[in-house]
Structure 1
């Protein structure tokens, strides 16, 4: 298999390289080599890397071709954009794929994007989940179509604006329910300005729907689309569980952000609150949140440029029990939400065997070569990350993360992990990127210690990464 991929790569690159060089505004060749002990890479060598690296490999070789283009059509308000990221991966499982391949069209504040593209990176890339519990930069982008606003649009002066989008995608990886659709919509309101205080509040709603179930066959399709996206219960043709709850696998987040800008520092406090059903939407799980603080120092040549602090809690999940009859036989309690797992869509919120949500939901259960969801969805954790500049050409980045993981509610008042499985992960990285050179070099060291990824057995795992990048254009 490896020899077949190696034979194909020169042909593909020789075909694509002239095209990308002519049409791309930015064209780069990159090479990454990674290694880890105990048959696995440490957490911060694979997490939030758009699925580039196989977490379950002890060594990874990666060669990638990246090209991006953005152009305004002359004398119009239209702009077009396109991008690709072609990756050759040599690891325990070899692969040749387009990690990104997309096109976009913009007219004033309106945007249409088609293909496999990631969300915009936020908080200098230092957050555990890009500030959004339900949509991180961890997994490889899936094919989708997104329509919406490309920026916040003022409605009343400069102190009240809105932003949103509507999206349909396809999860075309190997998964329990084949060809699962993924719907996503988002709506945000923004009040004020950073120079005083800026408040942003929003809601994002996701639904996995349709597809082919190995036991139930073809699930309800486009004819039930409105019921899916509106969070309605299924009709008489739906599965019994969907008639009792809502059609498909619905989940989402409430997002809140408070920003204040001073001359030398911008401070952003952000909260991401998950919900898996109506109880979460009604804040029965109010204590479950990602709390974050991002400090952006405005001296762009400073030793310390960005600092992120986060606290994460997902232990409550609306309570210990779900619909337990009381002494009168009336069902009580709406707990055991088990975030991002699902009884019908058993691959959970994963793509390419990696979490699409925060990578702290782990480990991903792999069975018969496909994901079967998350083994642990209840945890508390702390995260500290920072970056900056040592000299004009040398940049640094570091991260330290700790979690106590409890599995999920076992239905008997306890947890499936007892005692808790604790995990600590650290990263240190240096990057040499001179202004007048086309080449950059980065080296990173990472370490894990804990029992989360080794069936309750405490292990220490070390790893390293060396990255080379050449800017062709």
Structure 2
């Protein structure tokens, strides 16, 4: 019997080594790559990138049938990035250790989020968190699946807790990021579930570049205030004593999912967005992300899956004195909700570099918008992926006092990264080869009233999987 357990342990303890190599080259007919060639690429691609490559070895160590350790590193190279700042040509794309069991997943390091909606959506986890920016270094603990505990296993929860470092070149050096998520999950039937959750992120700590602002040192008592979104203590800045300590962003997240016969599913989802009490009280309605996803579970249909999203962020809490929430921006943390020059949330909200705002650092520009987005995946002779987005951009409004503000257009002449008021963005990828290598050909274009821009890419992916 003991020998049997030993053999079983050895089976699950066998190493699983994998090596992935990816390279993409771009051809661009304008000053900047089209929107969908540079967005949602984990921050690898900038406005001026001509090529990038990633080398990613990983190793899986299985402990038993339900748990394993994963160790992965991924090193990336790109020739160019954006017009401003020094983006490293060689950088760490991923570097992490992860323990995964039946109920808990714990990760330390830099890891990409898993793709949702087959990578077709404009934003991945929520309105607040996409795959648009480089992945953050830190720790994360989350439930591997819903944990059901009440009403005969019908009511359960999902949870996530993480802490990250913002170690890029930003206005507040060495700032931290707190992130948590909690959702109730209710089984309506064996094939349908209802989920209602809340996501909360907060930037805190660090050393502001503005000499008129003190260092944002955070002790344990201040961290507890950050965790619960409470106002600062007597040691905090006046603005933090009036509102909440740090820069807080949140979202209520709702979804209804129904499994179809076989492997298919469809889902309706909604994300709100708020940055203060008026927004959390939904006084900024209808701001948010609305969408639907359908997946046949097949891979050989003309349309295998699709997603549609409608995003609206124009209201921004029109309740004085809390006018113009200026989503993803902050007075103290003027680099805002960005990392390594890219917006962390939905990429339709864009980063910018303004001559008179942001203190010579990347900040958030266009955040008042209406957007429609469609993503389709299917097979027509070859597997394909198609994206079509329409955006009406209204720039942003910066508060300058009680009910006073300064307006910046999305294509403001002071901005280095201009966004036209109306843009249609397209993306089409064809997978020509799925064999010893993957070979994809990609085309993209942006259309606006005054001009158009086009770009193309060739992607090669190769992997070695050695599971002994």
TM-score, with structure 1 as normaliser? 0.85
1:96 pairs with 2:86:
no
Secondary structure of the corresponding residue to residue 39 of structure 1: coil
Task: Tell me by how many angstroms 1:297 deviates.
Answer: 1.1
1:301 is aligned to 2:300: yes
SS at 1:275 equivalent: coil
1:6 equivalent in structure 2: none
User: What's the RMSD between the two structures over aligned residues?
Assistant: 2.3
Label 1:77 to 1:29 Cα distance change in 2 as closer, same or farther (>3 A): closer
State the partner residue of 2:442: 444
Instruction: Give 1:415 shift.
Output: 5.2
Cα gap change, 1:363/1:107 in structure 2, threshold over 3 Å: closer, same or farther?
A: closer
1:79, distance to aligned residue in structure 2 (A): 1.6
Residue 359 of structure 1 is aligned with which of 323, 339, 347?
347
Q: 1:305 and 1:369 mapped to 2: Cα distance?
A: 47
Name 2:408's counterpart in structure 1.
Answer: 416
Match of 1:258 among 256, 259, 263: 256
Structure 2 segments unaligned to the other structure (5+ residues): 1-13, 82-86, 412-419
- 1:3 aligns with none
Match of 1:289 in 2: 288
Report if the CA contact (8 A) 1:66-1:83 is conserved: yes
> How far apart are the structure 1 equivalents of 2:375 and 2:194?
24
Judged with a 3 Å threshold, the aligned counterparts in structure 2 of structure 1 residues 196 and 64 are, in CA distance, closer, same or farther, namely closer
Corresponding residue to 2:68 among 79, 98, 105: 79
Report SS of the residue matched to 1:51.
coil
Residues 51-104 of structure 1 deviation map (CA, whole Å, 9 limit, x = unaligned): 1111x20x4211211233333214x75421122221011125551011111111
State the partner residue of 2:55: 65
TM-score (norm 2): 0.86
Asked if 1:240 is matched to 2:235, the reply is no
**Matches for 1:92-131 after TM superposition, within 5 Å:** 95-131=89-125
What SS does structure 2 have at the residue aligned with 1:226? helix
Structure 1 residue 120, shift from structure 2 partner: 1.9
Give the Å deviation of 1:243: 1.3
Contact 1:381 1:403 in 2 (8 A): yes
Could you tell me which residue of structure 2 aligns to residue 279 of structure 1?
278
Q: 4+ runs of 1 displaced by more than 6 Å?
A: 366-370
**Which residue in 2 is equivalent to 1:341?**
329
Q: Distance in 1 between matches of 2:290 and 2:189?
A: 20
Aligned to 2:464: 472
**In structure 2, do the counterparts of structure 1 residues 107 and 429 end up closer, same or farther at CA, with 3 Å as the change threshold?**
closer
Instruction: From the superposition, tell whether residues 159 and 71 of structure 1 become closer, same or farther in structure 2 (CA, over 3 Å).
Output: farther
User: Cα offset for 1:234?
Assistant: 1.2
Name the CA shift for 1:266/1:195 in 2 (closer, same or farther; >3 Å): farther
* Aligned positions, number: 428
Contact in 2 for aligned 1:131/1:270 (Cα 8 Å): no
SS in 1 for 2:223: helix
In structure 2, the residue matched to 1:42 is 34
Aligned equivalents of 1:245 and 1:463: distance in 2?
A: 45
Q: What is the rounded CA distance, in whole Å, between the counterparts of 1:362 and 1:253 in structure 2?
A: 19
Aligned to 2:392: 404
Secondary structure in 1 aligned to 2:408?
coil
CA distance in 2, matches of 1:366, 1:180: 22
TM-superposition CA deviations, 1:101-143 (whole Å, max 9, x none):
1111134312211011122211111111115110111101010
Matched with 1:387 is 377
Which range is displaced more, 251-260 or 417-426? 417-426
1:305 deviation in Å?
Answer: 0.7
Deviation of 1:158 (Å):
4.1
Question: Conserved in 1, the CA contact under 8 Å of 2:393 and 2:410?
Answer: no
The question of whether the paired residues in 1 share the 8 Å contact of 2:342 and 2:350 is answered with no
In 2: Cα distance, 1:351 partner to 1:370 partner: 15
Distance 1:89 1:53 in 2: 8
CA gap of 1:418–1:359, structure 2 versus 1, over 3 A, is: closer
Q: Classify 1:68/1:432 alpha carbon distance in 2 versus 1 (closer, same or farther; 3 Å).
A: farther
**1:461: how far off?**
1.1
